């Protein structure tokens, strides 16, 4: 028979049955562990959910990796490159590459009778993946780009539509400044203003103002025409990958095969401010989790000390019968393990239930103009949940060893004297 385990069960059972004075203290400790675990699960689920929501929106506008010409052009209008590159077949065969598409951008100003709005016209081709924009459409539909005859349809954001008082079907004039087709006698190029008429095909809304305020989608043929490019010239390529965690390795792999005249840049670099801000959320999560583990550990230490002191007479009897200090310590460590496990079970149940309710019904709303999302996002990563449970249990158990050493200071002669 495992004597420490048998006595540990009796100690816990007798505490509940007889209503010992330790009962409220232990219940408070269990509640503390449960609350700490629930808060930790919610913290991780919210932080990961928030990071994934923002990351998906940024990726939706610019993919994971952009390939452009390597030059000194730091503007939002990349220099043209050929859409027929020798590395494309090899790039498409890479296991980490999910999708490849061409693009080009052009700065412009939308003018109506009363308003002007600066925009970036993003030209896309037949190979463009509309999934992200379709998922965020609020009105209308997306257009189908044509490589031969470019369409005059555009997709604008709800932010732009509101500022211009535009709707689906609205006619918009967009003014551009572009380099002249031919150089003068001295070999210098001038600049001219050009205007094009577009019709709103669809209106999207993502809540990410950094892009919603200026991003307009059009047929890539329109950008080619504005810049006097040939149909074979594009601004660059966008590469979507399967695993964002390996974005740096994927960027290096793409740079390795595209040659010296081109450069591949990850979305983490082109939008460094946004991703640095998201990384700061990890620090907040670590601080909250650490504080909750400390609170849980202190609560369990208090409960264990009360249990030991309440059973001082029993400890004296066991010592008089020859049981070692370590043997008696194991009794109370087992009791502590039971109480911690019970608190973790309750905490997991409450935490996961709250996560489910928020993900299903969006109970907690957020101002989208500030947080980029309309409600608190939730993503339960089971690896993180398991790691938090194991880590919390081990930390609490290690800390519980300390108060158990009080047992070595209990003298049988003293405790038995007052029995």
Q: Is the pLDDT score of 26 beyond 70?
A: yes
Q: Is the pLDDT score of 113 beyond 50?
A: yes
Q: Quick check: 132 and 60 in contact, CB under 8 A?
A: yes
**Of the candidates 98, 109, 107, which has an alpha carbon nearest to the alpha carbon of residue 59?**
98
Say if residue 214 is in the same domain as residue 306. Answer: no
pLDDT band at 108 (very low <50, low <70, confident <90, very high): very high
- 293 assigned to some structural domain: yes
Backbone angle region of 80, left / alpha / beta, with phi > 0 → left and psi within -120 to 50 → alpha: beta
Q: Is the pLDDT score of 18 beyond 60?
A: no
- 270 assigned to some structural domain: no
pLDDT tens digits, residue range 294-304? 888 888 888 88
Say if residue 139 is in the same domain as residue 192. Answer: yes
- 61 assigned to some structural domain: no
- 269 assigned to some structural domain: no
Identify the domain containing residue 307 by its residue range: 3-56+275-417
Say if residue 339 is in the same domain as residue 302. Answer: yes
Say if residue 128 is in the same domain as residue 33. Answer: no
Q: How many domains does the chain have?
A: 2
- Antiparallel, parallel or unpaired: β 215-219 and 116-124: parallel
Q: Is the pLDDT score of 326 beyond 70?
A: yes
CA angle 412, 418, 419 (to 5 degrees): 80
- 407 assigned to some structural domain: yes
How far CA 281 is from CA of 161, 278, 340, 362, 380, in Å, comes to: 32, 5, 28, 21, 16
pLDDT tens digits, residue range 333-383? 888 888 889 899 999 999 999 999 999 988 898 888 778 888 899 999 999
**CA atoms of 337 and 217, how far apart (whole Å):** 59
- 63 assigned to some structural domain: no
pLDDT tens digits, residue range 161-206? 998 889 999 999 999 988 777 766 666 767 788 899 999 999 999 9
Q: Whole-number mean pLDDT of the chain?
A: 85
**CA atoms of 293 and 307, how far apart (whole Å):** 21
Say if residue 164 is in the same domain as residue 94. Answer: yes
- Res 72: pLDDT: 67
Q: Is the pLDDT score of 223 beyond 70?
A: yes
- Res 418: pLDDT: 46
Question: What would the DSSP string read from start to end of 231-274?
Answer: TTEESEEEEEES-GGGHHHHHHHHHHHH-SSEEEEEHHHHTHHH
- 45 assigned to some structural domain: yes
- Res 409: pLDDT: 67
pLDDT tens digits, residue range 255-295? 999 988 899 999 999 888 888 888 888 888 889 888 888 88
How far CA 93 is from CA of 101, 119, 146, 248, in Å, comes to: 14, 35, 26, 19
Say if residue 283 is in the same domain as residue 406. Answer: yes
**Of the candidates 269, 217, 224, 278, which has an alpha carbon nearest to the alpha carbon of residue 247?**
269
Share of the chain above pLDDT 90, in %: 44
Say if residue 158 is in the same domain as residue 81. Answer: yes
The alpha-helical segments, DSSP class H, found in 362-381 are: 368-371
pLDDT band at 66 (very low <50, low <70, confident <90, very high): very high
Q: Is the pLDDT score of 117 beyond 50?
A: yes
Any residues with CB less than 8 A from the CB of 364 and at least 6 apart, and which? 358, 375, 376
Say if residue 177 is in the same domain as residue 204. Answer: yes
Q: Is the pLDDT score of 121 beyond 70?
A: yes
Domain boundary among the residues 190, 224, 259 is at: 259
Assigned token pair, 208: 């990410």
pLDDT band at 217 (very low <50, low <70, confident <90, very high): very high
The number of residues in the chain equals: 419
CA dihedral angle for residue 262, residue 245, residue 360, residue 392, rounded to 10 degrees? -160
**Of the candidates 29, 233, 242, 31, which has an alpha carbon nearest to the alpha carbon of residue 125?**
233
- Res 187: pLDDT: 61
pLDDT band at 416 (very low <50, low <70, confident <90, very high): low
Q: Quick check: 116 and 236 in contact, CB under 8 A?
A: no
Say if residue 36 is in the same domain as residue 158. Answer: no
Domain boundary among the residues 225, 259, 293 is at: 259
- 114 assigned to some structural domain: yes
More confident residue, 363 or 1: 363
Q: Is the pLDDT score of 30 beyond 80?
A: yes
pTM for this model (two decimals): 0.80
Q: Quick check: 306 and 24 in contact, CB under 8 A?
A: no
Mean pLDDT for 135-141 is 94
- Res 255: pLDDT: 93
- Res 383: pLDDT: 93
- Res 90: pLDDT: 92
Say if residue 335 is in the same domain as residue 210. Answer: no
Domain boundary among the residues 226, 259, 292 is at: 259
φ/ψ of 321, rounded to 5, equals: -80, -5
Say if residue 42 is in the same domain as residue 141. Answer: no
Say if residue 111 is in the same domain as residue 238. Answer: yes
Around Cβ 271, how many Cβ atoms within 10 Å?
20
How far CA 372 is from CA of 12, 53, 151, 268, 368, in Å, comes to: 50, 9, 31, 18, 5
Q: Is the pLDDT score of 308 beyond 70?
A: yes
Q: Is the pLDDT score of 68 beyond 60?
A: yes
Q: Is the pLDDT score of 142 beyond 90?
A: yes
């Amino acid at each position: 028979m495992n004597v420490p385990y048998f006595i540990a069960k009796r100690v816990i059972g007798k505490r509940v049955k007889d209503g010992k004075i330790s009962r409220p203290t232990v219940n408070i400790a269990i509640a503390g562990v449960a609350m700490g675990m629930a808060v930790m699960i919610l913290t991780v689920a919210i932080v990961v959910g928030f990071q994934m929501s923002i990351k998906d929106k940024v990726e939706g506008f610019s993919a994971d990796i952009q390939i452009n010409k390597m030059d000194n052009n730091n503007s939002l209008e990349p220099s043209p490159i050929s859409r027929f590159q020798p590395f494309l077949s090899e790039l498409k065969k890479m296991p980490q590459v999910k999708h490849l598409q061409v693009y080009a951008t052009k700065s412009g100003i939308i003018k109506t009778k009363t308003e002007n709005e600066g925009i970036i016209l993003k030209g896309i081709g037949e190979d463009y993946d509309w999934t992200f924009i379709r998922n965020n459409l609020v009105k209308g539909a997306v257009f189908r780009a044509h490589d031969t005859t470019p369409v005059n349809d555009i997709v604008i954001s709800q932010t732009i539509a509101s500022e211009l008082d535009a709707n689906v079907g609205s006619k918009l004039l967009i003014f551009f400044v572009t380099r002249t087709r031919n150089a003068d006698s001295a070999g210098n190029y001038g600049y001219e203003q050009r205007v094009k008429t577009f019709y709103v095909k669809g209106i999207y809304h993502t809540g990410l103002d950094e892009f919603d305020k200026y991003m307009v989608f059009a047929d890539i043929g329109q950008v080619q025409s504005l810049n006097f490019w040939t149909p074979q010239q594009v601004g660059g390529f966008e590469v979507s990958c399967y695993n964002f965690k390996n974005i740096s390795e994927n960027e290096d792999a793409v740079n390795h095969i595209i040659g010296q005249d081109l450069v591949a840049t990850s979305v983490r670099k082109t939008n460094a401010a946004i991703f640095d801000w998201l990384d700061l959320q990890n620090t907040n999560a670590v601080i909250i989790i650490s504080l909750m583990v400390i609170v849980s550990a202190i609560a369990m230490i208090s409960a264990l000390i009360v249990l030991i002191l309440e059973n001082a007479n029993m400890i004296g009897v066991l010592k008089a019968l020859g049981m070692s200090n370590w043997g008696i310590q194991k009794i109370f460590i087992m009791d502590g393990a039971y109480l911690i496990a019970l608190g973790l079970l309750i905490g997991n149940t409450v935490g996961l239930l709250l996560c489910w309710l928020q993900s299903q019904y969006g109970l907690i709303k957020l101002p989208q103009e500030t947080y980029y999302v309309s409600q608190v996002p939730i993503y339960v990563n089971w690896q993180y949940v398991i790691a938090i449970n194991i880590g919390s249990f081990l930390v609490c158990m290690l800390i519980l060893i300390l108060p158990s050493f009080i047992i070595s200071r209990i003298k049988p002669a003293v405790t038995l004297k007052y029995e």
